[in-house]
Chain A
Amino acid sequence: MRQLFVFIRKEFLHVFRDRKSLLMLFGLPITQIVLFGFALSNEIKDSKIVIADYSRDEVTRKITEKIEASRYFDVEENLQSAQQLEAAFKKGKIKMAVIFPENFAEDLLHSKKATVQVIADASDPNVATATTTYITQIINDYNMTSGNASMQPLQIIPEVRMLYNPELKGGPNFVPGVMALVLMLVCTMMTSVAIVKEKELGTMEVLLVSPFKPLDIIISKLTPYLIISVMNLFIILILSVTILDLEIKGNIFLLVFESILFILTSLSIGLFLSINAETQQAAMMGSMMGMMLPTLLLTGFMFPVENMPLPMQWLANLVPSRWYFIIIKKVMLKGLGFSSVWKESLILISMTIFLFTISLRKFKIRLE
């Protein structure tokens, strides 16, 4: 036990003496959160739109106010005629146009039906879909609040609710993704490099000649990164809650427990890589190519796994972060308990045990 402590202390000294990796260890989660949170958001904010109002009555004025108040839209100008519309679209200045025909309020009052025309620039289909959804919501909203709905008992109004993320914020999707990515990177890359470094330096030989047990070498190598990763986890969670207004709905202890489980899985991958790599570069490349790309592509936070061809889906099933991503979304965003994530947890546990066992067996007590 005393020996183990001496070793772990030494590992911490290594980590804290190496400024570059220290910067990476703690800089990475912060940059990722800031990047994804502000720069790479797929939310559509402040889309430029125009409104052409031929009616100019009480109802259109109210709807226009609502649109102007929304943070999704930025009303450029109020056009007078449809002729100006095309020109504005062609210049690419605007993403959408909302047109109220003449006698809008009157039509609504008398025939209980009025049409508002929405024209969107669909050269970017995702943006077009998102903006039209937002505008439909605003108009529906008006319908509900103005009391029109109650006057028309036979009209069927679809009521769309965006569950778990009613405002369609980007955060709830990417925060679990960033957590998966950062923990994976830190644990896998740092551990594999740390172990291979000893091989390269020749100190591993000295360690193997000492009475120190291989299992203890592995434990001492993994412990600092386990602790650092848990610190990173809290940094990410605190940043998400404070600057991204993310609400953690589920049990925080379950969240931490599942994250530690995933950290252990990532550490065992790092261990596995280090045992097969001879140089630090090989270990680095292995974890970059072998882990970072699959994590980015197959976890599901950039591209939904359900839409991938079958072979890709099978491949994705082998990526631990995919399961962690599912767990975190369920726990953090939906507030579900352990009973709904036990399957995914079991997959992570089996992966960890499998990798750890192989690594320990391959970790040569005798250098062949």
Chain B
Amino acid sequence: MEPVIVTEKLTKKFDDFVAANELTFEVGKGEIFGFLGANGAGKTTAMRMLCGLLKPSSGKATVTGFDIYTQTEQIKKNIGYMSQKFSLYDNLTVKENIRFYGGIYGMRRKEIAVKTDELLSMLQLQGEAKTLVSELPLGWKQKLAFSVSIVHDPSIVFLDEPTGGVDPVTRRQFWDQIYYAADKGVTVFVTTHYMDEAEYCNRVSIMVDGVIAALDSPAALKKQYHSSSMQDVFYQLARNAKRKAD
């Protein structure tokens, strides 16, 4: 499998605190890569370094073949990002949000119009194109936010705890969307602390205290730790964590 993210001993220190310590991993094209860990384990830090939001302290990494120190501009064009906080504009309509995010990635009006129709019919939101986002239910907002983050057809999409506060049914639908995107060749890099979501990933990495404690497919990990669920695997790994969640 052709790797799209390659890191080698990627480290981030904030003063004395080592948030991410010598992370080394690869993510293949079209893979759904889960990044697991308790709050404060360093997963958001790792993701931010890959997106160009944080400058690493040391180590090497490339994203879609570009260096994260020197080629952030090229990286930015090829990735999508959905933040922990809900990232659409409440007082813009569904259509205006899509148009805005498509627009800042340099898409032309025509392309955006085609894409908008495609997205809305996929989400079954055709009737809501002119509705303000603030009037949509949370689950729809979340699904829309995901669609918007891949509106410019990035090769990788980074999702930072995308399903926080969403009901289980919507979460399931959200993951259907992720699978659909991955089938089309988009690499999905997702952080989460829902263990049932970990089961949906092709491979997961579990971070404990800033280091990668385990990295494999959910099935292999369960076998290795003699557990029936990812929940149990995670518990075995994380119970010795020294860092307390903030």
Contacts and interface: CB of A to CB of B under 8 A. Distances in A.
A77 interface: no
Which of A202, A208, A209 counts the most chain B CB atoms within 10 A? A209
A201 B51 CA distance: 19
Nearest to A210: B104
Contacts of B73: 211
* Chain B interface size range: 20 to 34
A206 B77 CA distance: 12
A206 B148 CA distance: 11
Contact of A202 (B77, B85, B103): B85
Contact of B76 (A3, A13, A18, A210): A210
A243 to B, nearest CB: 35
* Chain A interface size range: 20 to 34
B91 A17 contact: yes
Contacts of B105: 3, 210-211
B60 interface: no
Contacts of B88: 203
Interface in A188-242: 201-203, 205-212
A209 B92 contact: no
Contact of B77 (A7, A207, A211): A211
B141 interface: no
Nearest to A364: B53
Given A10-B96, A13-B92, A201-B87, A208 B103 contact: no
Contacts, number: 82
A154 interface: no
A6 B103 contact: yes
B139 interface: no
What's the dominant secondary structure at chain A's contact region? helix
A98 B77 CA distance: 83
B100 interface: yes
Interface string B190-219: 000000000000000000000000000000
B106 A3 contact: yes
A161 interface: no
Nearest to B84: A202
B238 to A, nearest CB: 26
A368 B13 CA distance: 11
B86 interface: yes
A205 B53 contact: yes
Interface string A1-26: 01101110010011001100000000
B99 interface: yes
A310 interface: no
Contacts of A7: 100, 103-104
A210 B152 CA distance: 11
Contacts of A6: 99-100, 103-104
B81 A206 contact: yes
B53 A10 contact: no
B83 interface: yes
A207 to B, nearest CB: 7
Interface in A147-180: none
B48 interface: yes
B83 A206 contact: yes
B54 A367 contact: yes
A321 to B, nearest CB: 31
A71 to B, nearest CB: 50
Nearest to B96: A13
A368 B15 CA distance: 12
B106 A206 contact: no
A203 B77 CA distance: 17
B89 interface: yes
A367 B104 contact: no
B161 to A, nearest CB: 12
B3 interface: no
Given A10-B92, A202-B86, A207 B104 contact: yes
A366 interface: yes
Contacts of B53: 205, 208-209, 366-367
Contacts of A210: 76, 81, 101, 104-105
Contacts of A13: 91-92, 96
A197 to B, nearest CB: 10
Interface in B82-125: 82-92, 96, 99-101, 103-106, 108
9 contacts: A3-B104, A6-B104, A201-B85, A206-B81, A206-B82, A206-B87, A209-B51, A210-B104, A366-B53
Which 6 residue pairs of A and B lie closest in terms of their CB atoms, listed nearest first? A202-B85, A6-B103, A209-B81, A17-B91, A211-B76, A206-B87
Given A206-B83, A209-B81, A209-B158, 17 more contacts: A7-B103, A10-B89, A10-B100, A14-B89, A17-B92, A201-B87, A202-B84, A205-B81, A207-B104, A209-B52, A210-B76, A210-B81, A210-B104, A211-B104, A366-B53, A366-B54, A368-B54
